[in-house]
Structures are given as structure tokens and as C-alpha cells.
Amino acid sequence: MTALRIAGLADAVGVARLHADSWRRHYRGAYADAFLDGDVVADREAVWSSRLAEPDVGVTILAEDGGGLLGFVHVVLDEDAVWGSLVDNLHVSHHRRRTGVGGLLLIRAAEEVAGRAVSGSSLYLWVLEQNRAARKFYEAYGGLCVEKAAVSPPGGHPERLDGTPAKLRVAWHRAESVSPAPK
């Protein structure tokens, strides 16, 4: 059975490894091969160790079962004056994709926003333009593509990008509208 819980500092390495594996599989063509095949694990470990040491900055939710970590999502409450709270990362372990874990995490992230954001319950995220599977997923949960922008390089290092990739802002005006479309 899949269980959700809030992450703590002890989870940093596990989250970082899943994050790096997901980037290696899905961000090639947007992030440089040299970064994905090189520093990405160390980069993610540094980012997650820092984030999870400061729980006030955002909330990270994990999905787990008896076999370990299945996925995670990170929410930064009240990040943007116009678009609301940011869903900063949502990644599901490769062997458990398309089994409902991403949907559980996205809905739980929306519940965090609805319950804790002070600026209202709108939320948004950025998805790589090339990431058609994730775009389909957000579309299936009612997200609207509202804007296109240039991808910022991870850690601010321009050489970590492959060319000039684009990202799309996907938004929900109310957290309550994050729900799967009827089939």
C-alpha cells in the first residue's frame, strides 16, 4: 500500500538519488549530458540536504511502500504574488510510473496549499516543453498551460544546459480544481 508522509533531513540522500535518476532519464536534451552523467547526484544531494534542513522554506511529501521510496513532491507556499504556491519537483520512481503515485502526490500537494497558503489556494509549476508525458499528466489533472519561458540552468551554471530549452508554466486557479478528468 502507498503511504504519504512529510520528509525530514534523514530522507535527503534517498530523495536526491531518485531526483538524479529521474533527471537522467527525462531531462536529457534540456540538461547537458556532461552534467547528467557527472555532477548531478552531488548537486541534488547538496540541494536536498539544504532544503530538508530548513523545513520552513517548503514542504516535501514522500510516497512510500514496504519496498521504499516511490516518489516525492516539494511545495513552496506563497511563492508568487500572481500564481500562488509553487510545486517545485514531482518525480516518481521509474518502475512505478503510471500506477497512480504521481496523482496521489499532486493531490496531497494541493491539499497542503489549500490548508496552509496564506495568499489563496492557487498553485503552479514549471514543466520542460520537451516533457510531453508530464504535460499530459498535468493536463489530466486540470492544469492549464499559461506561459512559456527559458529554462534556468541548475545551480545557476549555464554549461549545465543543452542549448536553450524552454519550460511551460502550468497553473490551477484553485487547489480544489486539482483533480483527475473523468474518463
Residue 133 found at the interface with ligand COA (CB under 6 A): yes
33 vs 92: CA distance, rounded Å: 21
Helix (H, G, I), strand (E, B) or coil at 10: helix
74 binds ligand COA per the rule CB under 6 A: no
160 near ligand COA, rule: CB under 6 A: no
Task: Say whether residue 136 binds ligand COA (CB under 6 A).
Answer: yes
Neighbours of 170 (CB within 10 A): 24
Residue closer to ligand COA, measured from CB, 49 or 99: 99
Q: Is 134 in the site for ligand COA (CB under 6 A)?
A: yes
Q: Using CB under 6 A, which of the segments 4-12, 44-52, 78-86, 136-144 binds ligand COA?
A: 136-144
Q: Which residues in 137-164 are b (16+ Cβ under 10 Å) and which e?
A: bbeebebeeeeeeebeebeeeeebbbee
Q: Taking the chain, what is the end-to-end CA distance rounded to the nearest angstrom? A: 24
Using CB under 6 A, which residues numbered 90 to 109 contact ligand COA? 90-92, 97-103
C-alpha cell at 79: 511563492
Give the interface with ligand COA as residue ranges (CB under 6 A): 22, 26, 90-92, 97-103, 125, 127, 131, 133-134, 136-137, 140
